[in-house]
């Protein structure tokens, strides 16, 4: 298993409860594919450098996790299709 860092930008216009549901779904997707979450950070709402899908702000959520490299593509594909996630970036540490 390799160590990865994932940064997710979630729509800012969601209610706080909906944001918690999205972050929980992100965490569950990693654990369901055999990963282990090491650290979770909610950075809150921040101004974006440029508009993304007509949003000028985004709610930032960062995860440090261990997972098999073959499962990274599954996680990225799942969140590129999620309408509540504006951007996803997963990098190997």
Contacts of residue 44, defined as CB under 8 A and 6 or more positions apart, other chains included, come to 59, 60
Digit-coded pLDDT (tens) for 23-76 = 999 898 899 888 899 999 999 999 999 988 888 999 999 999 999 998 888 888
- For residues 82-93, average pLDDT: 90
- Does CATH number 3.30.70.60 belong to domain 2-92? yes
Q: What is the pLDDT of residue 40?
A: 93
| Token duo for residue 18 | 């909906």
Ranges of each domain in the chain: 2-92
Cβ burial 75-90 (10 Å sphere, 16+ → b, else e): beeebeebebbbbbeb
pLDDT of residue 22: 92
Residue 93: the pLDDT is: 87
């Amino acid at each position: 298993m390799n160590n990865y860092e994932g940064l997710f930008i979630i729509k800012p216009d969601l209610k706080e409860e909906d944001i918690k549901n999205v972050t929980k779904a992100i965490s569950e997707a990693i654990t369901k594919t055999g990963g282990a979450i090491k650290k979770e950070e909610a950075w809150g709402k921040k101004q974006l450098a440029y508009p993304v899908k007509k949003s000028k702000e985004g709610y930032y959520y960062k995860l440090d996790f261990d997972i098999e490299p073959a499962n990274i593509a599954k996680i990225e594909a799942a969140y590129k299709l999620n309408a509540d996630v504006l951007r996803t970036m997963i990098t190997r540490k």
